[in-house]
């Protein structure tokens, strides 16, 4: 199946009261693991590359070719959108040109008016090619220099203004943060989520920092309008744990256990299993 834009996928998710998982990829193994997990779950999926991961993988063209070719060679039949995660303006335009089917323009660090103006421009260029657009209002906290910032709450008036630029889905802070949640985390703000959902003309919302949010909060967020959930840290954690176990058990020293195809296999399987579990949590299994 050809890559698809995320617009229809997320509209259906919102109507059906489930969310689509957007999993970050870093390399060949992760890309295969995510596609495998979605196919086994008969679920739509979003594969996303951050700017840094795309650079690591050899550039956006490599990422696009990799995902597109794996869909063919693995016989993937579920809908897959290839998305740019937290993209700068120039990167969003580049991905649109290359063939990504969805982009996030993250102008949350810019003055708000500039964020809006650039969002409008990205929307015009993306929609001309059938590409879906996510933008962010406010900023989503996380770990910086070892300090975990608290989750910010986006301003509903700014969310409304951003939704009027024509974007397809909106990322807004509702107390969520990237990376691990601190023990004293107050949880998601469902009041703020409901206030924002009320003023954005029915557009799907995106929950960043999906790793470590308890299932009951995920389900409540979906019931209030979240239709895309980003997961990265948890995939990294299970990959690292499975690889560590393999090495600590000395498996890399048995026979050809050091062959990267063997060494990376337990981590890859762990990512597939996590993707399947999160797809169950988000309720998108069987919705392809």
Ligand X SMILES: O=C(O)C[C@@H](O)[C@H](O)C(=O)COP(=O)(O)O
* Residue positions annotated with a catalytic role: 85
Three-class SS of residue 201?
coil
DSSP H or E segment with residue 52: helix 51-57
CB of 107 to Zn ion, least distance (A): 14
Among 31, 233, 272, 284, binds ligand X (CB under 6 A): 233
Taking the least distance from each CB to ligand X, the nearer of 235 and 264 is: 235
Q: Helix 89-98 crosses helix 60-73 at what angle (to 10 degrees)?
A: 40
Three-class SS of residue 12?
helix
The count of residues interacting with ligand X (CB under 6 A) is: 15
Burial of 184 (0-12, 13-18, 19+ CB in 10 A): exposed
50 binds, among ligand X, Zn ion, none (CB under 5 to 8 A by kind): ligand X
Query: What is the bridge-based pairing of β-strands 147-148 and 143-144?
Result: antiparallel
Could you say whether residue 278 binds ligand X (CB under 6 A)? no
For Zn ion, the binding residues in 205-244 under the rule CB under 5 A are: 208
Place of tokens 């009027």: 164
Tokens of 172: 């807004």
109 in a labelled binding site: no
Three-class SS of residue 186?
coil
166 binds, among Zn ion, ligand X, none (CB under 5 to 8 A by kind): none
232 in a labelled binding site: yes
42 in a labelled binding site: no
Could you say whether residue 83 binds Zn ion (CB under 5 A)? no
The binding site for dihydroxyacetone phosphate comprises: 179, 209-211, 230-233
The binding site for Zn(2+) comprises: 86, 106, 136, 178, 208
């Amino acid at each position: 199946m050809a890559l698809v834009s995320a617009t229809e996928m997320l509209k259906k998710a919102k109507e059906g009261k489930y969310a689509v998982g957007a999993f970050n990829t870093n390399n060949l193994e992760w890309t295969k693991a995510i596609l495998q997990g979605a196919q086994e779950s008969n679920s739509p999926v979003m594969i996303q590359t951050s700017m840094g991961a795309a650079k690591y993988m050899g550039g956006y063209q490599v990422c696009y070719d990799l995902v597109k070719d794996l869909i063919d060679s693995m016989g993937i039949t579920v809908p897959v959108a290839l998305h740019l995660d937290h993209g700068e303006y120039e990167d969003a335009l580049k991905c649109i040109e290359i063939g990504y089917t969805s982009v996030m323009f993250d102008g949350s660090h810019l003055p708000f008016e500039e964020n809006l103006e650039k969002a409008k421009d990205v929307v015009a260029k993306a929609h001309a090619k059938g590409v879906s657009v996510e933008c962010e209002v406010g900023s989503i906290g996380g770990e910086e220099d070892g300090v975990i910032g608290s989750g910010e709450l986006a301003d509903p008036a700014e969310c409304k203004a951003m939704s009027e630029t024509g974007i397809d889905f909106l990322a807004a802070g509702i107390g969520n943060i990237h990376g691990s949640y601190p023990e004293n985390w107050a949880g998601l703000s469902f009041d703020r989520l409901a206030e924002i959902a009320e003023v954005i003309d029915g557009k799907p919302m995106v929950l960043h920092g999906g790793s470590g949010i308890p299932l009951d909060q995920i389900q409540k967020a979906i019931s209030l309008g979240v239709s895309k959930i980003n997961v990265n840290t948890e995939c990294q954690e299970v990959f690292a744990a499975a690889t560590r176990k393999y090495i600590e058990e000395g498996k890399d020293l048995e026979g050809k256990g050091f062959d990267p195809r063997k060494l990376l296999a337990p981590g890859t399987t762990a990512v597939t299993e996590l993707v399947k579990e999160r797809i169950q949590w988000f309720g998108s299994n069987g919705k392809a």
